[in-house]
Amino acid sequence: MADAWLVPLIIMANPLLLHTPNFTFLFSFNSKRKSKPLSMAASLQCSSSTPISSPMPNQPSLLVFSGGTAFNGVVEELKNLTTRIAHVLPVSDDGGSTAEIVRVLGGPAVGDIRSRCLRLSDQSTAEALAVRRLLGHRLPLEAPQAKSEWYDIVEGEHPLWTGVSRPYRETIRAFLVYFQNEILRRPNESFCFTNGSIGNFFFAGARIFFQSLDAAIFLFSRVSEIPPESLVLPVISTNDRLTLGCELWDGTVIRGQNEISHPTNGTMQPVNKGCSSIPVLPSRMKRVFYMSSEGGNSLHEVFPAVNSSVLDQLSNVDCIVYAMGSLFTSICPSLVLRGVGEIISSRTCPKVLLLNGTHDRETSGFSASCFVTAITDALNRKYGDPHNCLENSPSQYINTLLVPKEGEIPIDVPCLTSQGIFDVIFVDSFRDPKVGIIFNPKSLINAIANVVG
């Protein structure tokens, strides 16, 4: 892995940092323990023009709408097809340690983005694996043990630092220390470290320091050595706290992604999305929308702007993919934003829906055509602002359906045909004991390769 060029890259991302007190603090803090900080002057001696490898020209380019869990299982295999991928992810996840960060420090949720960055990270060297292991680590479920282990990590004393060279160690530690400092500045809020993700804490520290989600992703991508042609894009580039809301067909409104998808009654326990004990919704889901309490006393619907980089990628990629996962809380939040439906409907490239293999709380009783309808309604913004809705047909958004063999979702061919979906391809699958039927990763990537041509 590269090392000392990280600091010049950070400065390139935001040259004004050289003139801020935070920058001086970030690279000159001293720990009470043994390790010493990385010298900023020494770092700046390294050239910032480190060559970056170019993608192979014959690799297809993809844009994937997904959440942070279901699609992660095929990310490694997808690298064998192409690394020219724009991963578009929502910023509304409010479960686990992400919820605690948002509660105490505010800002967008970074859990899904951190999860995908780790899946894309380099594994080719011992140090790369050590960094991945550190940023992928979760603290214990017991609060005292979690807090104790966190202090060992932030002070550089934990065994997880083994194999991480000094430049990387001090760069990562600097943002963990900054995160800790931000918590201490809020004495009225007691932060719970239970089941906390070290990667989330690093990410949050970087976002708050730079006051930029994009800069935090840039730093995380470089620290974890993501291929430069692989993009991790928040669908909304914001520093505000956004809450996902949903409206059911019976008029019920539910606030919060976690509450919609897999409510945990406020516990910090790991989420089991395949758990059969999750209560069913009282009615089918009609739409999802964004809510915010920024600048007001109560949650209200807002219409945030889509990240312009997402629109740029949509206009140019060779294939658009709607990944498997939580349909309404992972996929649709990226589709309901203005501008997304307009560009997708104008493209003539392959537009592929990866169908889930198992029902969940959001799609109980759905057939394949119901998935198509939900995606179409989201892209058309059918039930949102009546002055900003579209009337495009399903076939303008989806032209290929990839289905896991032996999946639980009924494939209602006549309804799909009436929607203009004629290309239905069955792909090898297997049963995962936790979540049910899922795609065989290698078979899925081969199927996508055949679709892209």
Note down pLDDT in tens along the chain; length 453 residues: 444 444 544 444 444 444 444 444 444 433 333 333 333 323 323 333 333 344 455 899 999 999 878 899 899 999 999 999 999 999 988 777 788 998 899 888 888 999 999 999 988 899 999 999 999 999 999 999 999 999 999 999 999 999 999 988 999 999 999 999 999 998 888 899 999 999 999 999 999 999 999 999 999 998 888 999 999 999 999 888 888 999 999 999 998 888 888 776 555 454 454 445 577 888 999 999 998 766 555 678 889 999 999 999 999 999 999 999 999 999 999 999 999 999 999 999 999 999 999 999 999 999 999 999 999 999 999 998 788 899 999 999 999 999 999 999 999 999 999 999 999 999 999 999 988 999 999 999 999 999 998
Six token digits for residue 28: 């000159």
- Residue 201 main-chain phi, psi, to 5 deg: -65, -40
Which residue's structure tokens are 């942070």?
68
Check: CB of residue 108 under 8 Å from CB of residue 238: yes
pTM of the entire structure?
A: 0.85
Give the residue extent of every domain in the chain: 6-51+109-230, 243-452
- In a 10 Å sphere around its CB, with 0-12 CB exposed, 13-18 middle and 19+ buried, how is residue 201 labelled? buried
**Which of 345, 320, 344, 246 lies closest to 290 in space, CA to CA?**
246
For 330, which DSSP code? I
In this prediction, residue 311 carries a pLDDT of 97
**Which of 398, 395, 328 lies closest to 366 in space, CA to CA?**
328
In this prediction, residue 296 carries a pLDDT of 54
CA 363 to chain centre: 21
Check: CB of residue 107 under 8 Å from CB of residue 207: yes
- In a 10 Å sphere around its CB, with 0-12 CB exposed, 13-18 middle and 19+ buried, how is residue 326 labelled? buried
- Residue 74 main-chain phi, psi, to 5 deg: -110, 0
Q: Is 206 left (phi over 0), alpha (psi -120 to 50) or beta?
A: alpha
In this prediction, residue 298 carries a pLDDT of 65
Pick 243-452's CATH classification: 3.10.310.30, 3.40.50.720, 4.10.780.10, 3.40.50.10680: 3.40.50.10680
Cα–Cα distance between 314 and 86 in angstroms, integer?
Answer: 9
In this prediction, residue 1 carries a pLDDT of 45
In this prediction, residue 99 carries a pLDDT of 86
Name the 3-class secondary structure at 99. helix
Supply the DSSP string of 54-121, one letter for each residue.
PPPTTS--EEEE--SSTTHHHHHHHTTT-S-EEEEE-S---SHHHHHHHHHH-S---HHHHHHHHHHS
In this prediction, residue 399 carries a pLDDT of 96
In this prediction, residue 453 carries a pLDDT of 84
Please name the helix (run of DSSP H) or strand (run of DSSP E) that holds residue 89, with its range, or none: strand 85-89
Expressed in angstroms, the distance from the first to the final Cα of the chain is 34
**Radius of gyration for the chain, computed over Cα atoms and rounded to the nearest angstrom:** 22
Cα–Cα distance between 418 and 71 in angstroms, integer?
Answer: 29
Check: CB of residue 165 under 8 Å from CB of residue 127: yes
Supply the DSSP string of 373-438, one letter for each residue.
HHHHHHHHTTTS-GGG-----GGGT--EEEEETT-SS---HHHHHHTT--EEEEE-EEEETTTEEE
**Which of 65, 112, 62, 115 lies closest to 374 in space, CA to CA?**
65
Neighbours of 436 (CB within 10 A): 17
**Which of 168, 294, 293 lies closest to 225 in space, CA to CA?**
168
In this prediction, residue 258 carries a pLDDT of 83
Six token digits for residue 96: 């686990």
Tallying the residues shown for the chain, one arrives at 453
Query: HSE on the CB side for 138, CA within 13 Å?
Result: 15
Q: What are the angstrom distances between the C-alpha of 4 and each of 168, 178, 191, 202, 223?
A: 8, 20, 32, 18, 11
By DSSP bridging, strand 253-255 and strand 243-248 are antiparallel
In this prediction, residue 23 carries a pLDDT of 45
Neighbours of 280 (CB within 10 A): 8
- In a 10 Å sphere around its CB, with 0-12 CB exposed, 13-18 middle and 19+ buried, how is residue 121 labelled? buried
The C-alpha angle 419, 422, 423, rounded to 5 degrees, equals 130
Cα–Cα distance between 336 and 379 in angstroms, integer?
Answer: 5
Cα–Cα distance between 22 and 374 in angstroms, integer?
Answer: 45
| Per-residue pLDDT reduced to its tens digit, 104-136 | 998 888 889 999 999 999 888 999 999 999 999
**Which of 234, 447, 451 lies closest to 351 in space, CA to CA?**
451
For residue 286, the one-letter residue type is K
